[in-house]
Structure 1
Amino acid sequence: MSGLSYNRLGVALSALVLVGIGVGTGLVIGQRSGSAGAPAADGAGGRKVLYYYDPMYPDRKFDKPGQSPFMDMPLVAKYADEGGAGAASGGVRIDPALTQNLGVRFATARMGSLGGDLIATAVIDYNQRDVAIVQSRADGFVQRVYDRAPGDVVAAGAPLVDLLVPSWGGAQTEYLALRRTGDAALIQAARRRLVLLGMSDGLIASVERSGRPRDTITIASPTAGAIRTLAVRRGMSVTQGAALAEISGLSTVWLNAAIPEVLAGQLRVGQSVEVGLTAFPSERFTGRLTALLPEVSGDSRTLTGRIELANRGGRLRPGMFGRVVFGGATTSALLVPSEAVIRTGQRDIVMLALPEGRYQPAQVRIGRESGGQTEILAGLRAGEQVIASGQFLIDSEASLSGVAARPIGDAAPPAASPAAGMAMKEPGR
């Protein structure tokens, strides 16, 4: 090949290299210039990108694609034709076929009667106002405990323990000697001393009748009930003021009902209640609400309602489980199924079904709840459609799309049927 040909070939190769460098430089410059500002369009389909976000943290927005700083996953593009700014007023649109596959059920907010009866679970407890504490009135020694044990039910006057009290024997002997002198003043002073030592009038009268001292005394139950504690055993010594036993009366019992916090304002102390017990399913008992305790349980958000029940025959035992019905007046209210209400802790919302397959959350203020229906005090109007099942999935999509919840004060007139052409299914159908 001639030298001229070699020269021409070298020129051609140099030109190709320069073209390649130019093209590569142009691509690099183009990529850098495209990423310098906020995202404008997706290169594949020409769709306008509003921002990028992490699906696990939809409230954090980014103007560039890349890796999520929160999760090990790439950021997702949010396109203008998916909603965004305009969705705040028009809601989020869901394909009707998808809602059908998800089994979404709808309900209509309607005026109805809300039952006034409130039902709460309850457990029987001892009447803490009917408690007797048996104490020793002097130092002594336990001679006998009459085979008693905690949990035994005793009658009033039933013997509990025999105590040997040596100091009482000497005082009684002195009293009997003074009685024989006939000196009324000395006799009265000696008798007063026996009372101050802790002897009962019955014991002193017994010593006077028999003429002999009694240093062993029997301590009996002052009331009928169940022995809660028994702190003595045969052979042990006791001191003055020591608690020997605790007895809880059983003539009346308390029924402690767990009342939901939202229902507490509807009850009043003194009202009559109806009680059903698991142990006696065919019977109904009547009690009276005596107190609403001031403390609310932080775990269950309930407060305790104390109901007093007469315990005829001693059949009602502490620990028995029951159900309390608090009677109340039936009122008219705007109702939706309780399952349609999403409780976030800070607010309550329902998912509205709008025309053309669109949905929007609406903030509501709820009232009472009974029979699976919840009273809507504000934020919704009769005739508006809400989602009764599957609303959590649609609410998540609305959050991703930036759809704002309708404020309570912006409740609109009843909306038309949602998702034209799609069959509406009421709850339970």
Structure 2
Amino acid sequence: MSARLWKSALLSGLSIALGLAGGYWYANSRMAEVSGSPAKPVTATQDGRKVLYWYDPMYPQQKFDKPGKSPFMDMEMIPQYADAAAETSAIRIDPSLTQNLGLRLASVTRGSLANSLEVIGVLAFNEREVAVVQARADGFVERVYARAPGDVLQAGAPLVDLLIPDWAAAQEEFLALKHSGDAGLLAAARQRLRLAGMPAALIHQVERSGKPQAVLTLDSPIGGVVQELDVRNGMTVAAGATLARVNGLDSVWLSLAVPEAEAGAIAQGQAVEARLPAFPGEVLAGTVDAILPETNPDSRTLRVRVELPNPDGRLRPGMTAQVRLNRSTAQNVLWLPSEAIIRTGRRALVMLAEDGGRYRPVEVRLGPESAGQTVVTQGLTEGQQVVASGQFLLDSEASLKGLTAPTAEQLTTTAAPVLHEAEAQVMAIDNAGVTLAHGPFKTLGMPGMTMTFPLADPALMVGIKAGDKVRVAVRQSDSGLLVERLEKQGGQP
């Protein structure tokens, strides 16, 4: 091989080696960018605005610390400004699209809220108005009047005639003593008739007529419904046997099933309004008569008894009623429409509407609910706007973006800002702040990178030098992320 050919081959080999080395360096530098380990801190600014990082809109989850071509697409990366970082804590929707999405807003209002509870009730017999008809002595049934269970009777309506043989001999003795003229013996004989179970009216009838009355007609002591009639013609009955049972209708019970969560707001004597489908447009007034001590284990409801007057007898047991339990009216409370609340099981959320078409989830603490309105005890202020329709769509979008709702305490406590923490290593310290190679801020959705952060207090750097491993806590500020806390990791000199 000639010297010229050998020299040409040597130059070609050197060019190939340099090309391979350059390609290897470029690939490594791009891989370092993709892996989130940038080579220098973010200090770039544009139009006077602080740039946090650059990203490819097609791959927004990957962030870079300097501008340039995207390693994924043939396009320039775009900057993320510090003054736009607040957008990461909310969802933004073009206001012109809200109507297309079916979003409807409602205001958080302060004022009076009528506190009432709507439940279903069923009419039942008043068990305090019960009359039991019994035989006062051994006898025989001579006649049963045309009655049957379910019949409605007036007070004094006859039920059955009983023949009581033992009473006939006692009455004959009483009438004989009456003719003797001995007042003491007559009084003793009259007392004997009473002790035998004879009613005073029957004794008076025997004394006035002078004839024995061995047949006793048993009447209904009250007006009402015949519940039981256990007697037939010719039966032999014993003293104390129950022949009939009559339930009065002058008043009825309205039995309510109240959810156990509302049991603490029910009190005896509380006013009640009942509306029956049988009498449309009519409102019946009553009061809570009793709160039964047991809860239904299947429906987790408490039985509440209301007594309603029934002078004309038109309220019949078994009828249903829509019942409103009127409680005290809450004054000067904060409330919002109940439909705006998202109940997750562990807590209650609303989607708070902010300026510029921004929406973010907020945790709220709730009070009583009435007529489609719910009292808010913590988490919102008067005049704020919440999403009353379409909030579940926004909540799903917030979950996909990893947005978490601040707790009610965080929203009402201004002295404690929300901090985001990560592990980091101090790369440099200067007047601008501290440069950190930090891991991911998970609560911000921000991956690991190297950045320069301003300090909330220069005293935070006391005892910390370049190369130290620290635990850093930052918060969102108008100028970007601000270091609020730096803690040197244990075991370092």
Per mean C-alpha deviation after superposition, the further-off stretch among 92-101 and 251-260 is 92-101
CA distance in 1, matches of 2:60, 2:232: 85
Q: Is the 8 A contact 2:378 2:412 kept in 1?
A: no
Q: For residue 234 of structure 1, what is the amino acid of its counterpart?
A: N
Structure 2 counterpart of 1:276: 275
State the SS of the aligned residue for 1:313: coil
Please give the alpha-carbon distance, in whole angstroms, between the structure 1 residues aligned to 2:35 and 2:114: 54
Q: Report what 2:153 is aligned to.
A: 154
Q: In structure 2, what residue type is equivalent to 1:143?
A: E
Contact persistence 2:124–2:252 (CA under 8 A):
yes
In 1: Cα distance, 2:123 partner to 2:262 partner = 21
CA–CA distance in structure 2, aligned partners of residues 295 and 343 of structure 1: 29
Does structure 2 retain, via aligned residues, the 8 Å contact 1:334–1:375?
yes
User: Is contact 1:360–1:406 with CA below 8 Å preserved after alignment?
Assistant: no
Instruction: Give, in whole Å, the separation in 2 of the partners of 1:196 and 1:357.
Output: 92
Separation in structure 2 between the aligned mates of residue 119 and residue 322 of structure 1, nearest angstrom: 11
Q: In 2, Cα distance between the equivalents of 1:279 and 1:333?
A: 37
How far apart, CA to CA, are the structure 2 residues paired with 1:165 and 1:405? 84
Change in CA separation of 1:395 and 1:173 when aligned onto 2, cut-off 3 Å: farther
What is the identity, as a one-letter code, of the residue corresponding to 1:173?
E
Judge conservation of contact 1:257–1:306 (CA < 8 Å) in 2: yes
After alignment, is 216-225 or 170-179 more displaced?
170-179
Match of 2:167 in 1: 168
* CA distance in structure 1 between the partners assigned to 2:100 and 2:238 by the alignment: 79
Match of 1:339 in 2: 339
What is the CA RMSD across the aligned residues, in angstroms? 3.9
Matched letter for residue 348 of structure 1: A
Tell me, in whole angstroms, the C-alpha distance in 2 between the residues paired with 1:277 and 1:107: 34
Q: CA deviation at 1:156?
A: 1.2
Shift of 1:100: 7.8
Q: CA deviation at 1:356?
A: 8.4
- Provide the rounded CA distance (Å) in 2 between the counterparts of 1:345 and 1:176: 84
Structure 1 residues 393 and 302: alpha-carbon distance in aligned structure 2, compared to 1, 3 A threshold: farther
Structure 1 residue aligned with 2:125 = 126
Q: Aligned residue pairs: how many?
A: 335
Residue of structure 2 equivalent to 1:138: 137
Alpha-carbon spacing, 1:116–1:208, altered in 2? closer, same or farther (3 Å): same
1:251, distance to aligned residue in structure 2 (A): 1.7
Q: CA–CA distance in 2 between the matches of 1:344 and 1:301?
A: 21
Question: 2: CA distance between counterparts of 1:232 and 1:99?
Answer: 76
Equivalent residue of 1:213, what SS?
coil
Q: Aligned partners of 2:111, 2:276: CA distance in 1, in Å? A: 31
**Structure-2 residue corresponding to 1:221:** 220
Partner Cα separation in structure 1 for residue 402 and residue 169 of structure 2: 93
Pick closer, same or farther for the CA change 1:176–1:259 going to 2, 3 Å. Answer: same
The one-letter amino acid paired with 2:375 is E
Give the TM-score taking structure 1 as reference length.
0.64
User: What letter corresponds to residue 316 of structure 1 in structure 2?
Assistant: L
Change over 3 Å in CA distance of 1:173–1:389 after alignment to 2: same
Quickly say closer, same or farther: Cα 1:95–1:217, change in 2 above 3 A.
Answer: same
**Structure-2-length-normalised TM-score:** 0.57
User: Alpha carbons of 1:191 and 1:115: their partners in 2 closer, same or farther (altered >3 Å)?
Assistant: same
Q: CA deviation at 1:386?
A: 3.7
Q: Which residue of 2 aligns with 1:368?
A: 368
Q: After superposition, what is the alpha-carbon deviation per residue over 1:97-146, rounded to whole angstroms, capped at 9, x for unaligned? A: 99987645444433344234544433332222222122221222222221
Counterpart for residue 381 of structure 1: 381
Separation of aligned partners in 1, 2:239 and 2:402: 76
Q: Tell me the amino acid that sits aligned with residue 236 of structure 2.
A: S
Q: Distance in 2 between matches of 1:94 and 1:170?
A: 103
Per-residue CA deviations over 1:47-96 (Å, capped at 9, x if unaligned) read 99xxxxxxxxxxxxxxxxxxxxxxxxxxxxxx9949xxxxxx96685987
In structure 2, what is the equivalent of residue 5 of structure 1? Answer: none
Q: Which region of structure 1 is more displaced relative to structure 2, 396-405 or 168-177? A: 396-405
The structure whose RCO (Cα within 8 Å, separation 6+) is larger is: 1
One-letter identity of the residue aligned with 2:410: D
Q: 1:248-327 residue pairs with structure 2 within 5 A?
A: 248-298=247-297, 300-325=299-324, 326=326
1:345 Cα deviation after fit: 5.1
> Hey, what's the Cα distance between the residues in 1 that align with 2:208 and 2:35?
113
- 1:202 Cα deviation (Å)? 0.9
Q: 1:271: Cα distance to partner?
A: 4.4
SS at match of 1:306: strand
Structure 1 residue 311: Cα displacement? 1.9
Q: Secondary structure at the match of 1:283?
A: coil
Task: Tell which deviates more after alignment, 314-323 or 94-103.
Answer: 94-103
Q: Is the 8 A contact 1:91 1:358 kept in 2?
A: no
Gap change, CA 1:94 and 1:136, over 3 Å in 2: farther
Question: Partner amino acid for 1:368?
Answer: P
Contact 2:273/2:323 (<8 A) preserved? yes
* Equivalent-residue separation in structure 2 for 1:233 and 1:343 (angstroms): 63
Q: CA deviation at 1:201?
A: 0.7
Distance 1:102 1:168, change over 3 A: farther
DSSP 3-state at the match of 1:368: strand
Q: How many Å separate the matches in 1 of 2:282 and 2:401?
A: 56
Change (3 A) 1:81 1:238: farther
Kindly indicate whether the alpha-carbon contact (under 8 Å) linking 2:115 and 2:369 is maintained by their aligned counterparts in 1: no
Structure 1: gaps of 5 or more residues: 1-42, 49-78, 83-88, 415-429
Name 2:246's counterpart in structure 1: 247
Q: Which moved more, 1:351-360 or 1:400-409?
A: 351-360
Question: 2:339–2:388: 8 Å Cα contact kept in structure 1?
Answer: yes
Equivalent residue number for residue 408 of structure 1: 408
In structure 2, do the counterparts of structure 1 residues 343 and 190 end up closer, same or farther at CA, with 3 Å as the change threshold? farther
Contact 1:254 1:306 in 2 (8 A): yes
Aligned-pair CA distance for 1:204: 1.4
CA distance in 2, matches of 1:91, 1:296: 45
Does residue 329 in structure 1 map to residue 329 in structure 2?
yes
